[in-house]
Structure 1
């Protein structure tokens, strides 16, 4: 589970804009949000920075 969609929609950023910011395809963002793709650590860090949060908030399950 991750909170990518929650953070992205909270910032009113489209999948296309987020994908462009971190250098991936929109489909990659969609697959991450739907838990169909496990991003690399590097990609996780880029996502967290782009969404203004940290890895724990974005990916940690409590």
Structure 2
């Protein structure tokens, strides 16, 4: 797996572990949501500045995005589709 693939793999894994949608992560990192998707698919050459913004939004060190997955590890699962229900507090 090349470096872009490793970064994309880890980005998706960390995002899903934290229960964040691509949109929420993009807002927190102040980047475009479609760009996050392309990074996760390994289609973008990401700058160090963008990696720092994504790592900060995920609450991890930049180095966490470069951890090579175990051989044969399954791809990180996507979040369940649809919006989360808002919890309405009684007044």
Length-normalised TM-score, structure 2: 0.63
Q: Which of the two has greater helix per residue? A: 1
Q: Secondary structure at the match of 1:12?
A: coil
Q: Which runs of 5+ in 1 are unaligned?
A: none
Larger radius of gyration: 2
In structure 2, stretches of 5+ residues that fail to align are 1-5, 70-91
| CA RMSD of superposed structures (Å) | 1.3
Say whether residues 1:13 and 2:20 are aligned partners.
yes
Q: How far does the alpha carbon of each residue in 1:2-59 deviate from its partner, in whole angstroms, 9 at most, with x for none?
A: 2000000000000001111111111100001010002111110011111111111112
Question: Whose RCO is larger (CA < 8 A, sep 6+)?
Answer: 1
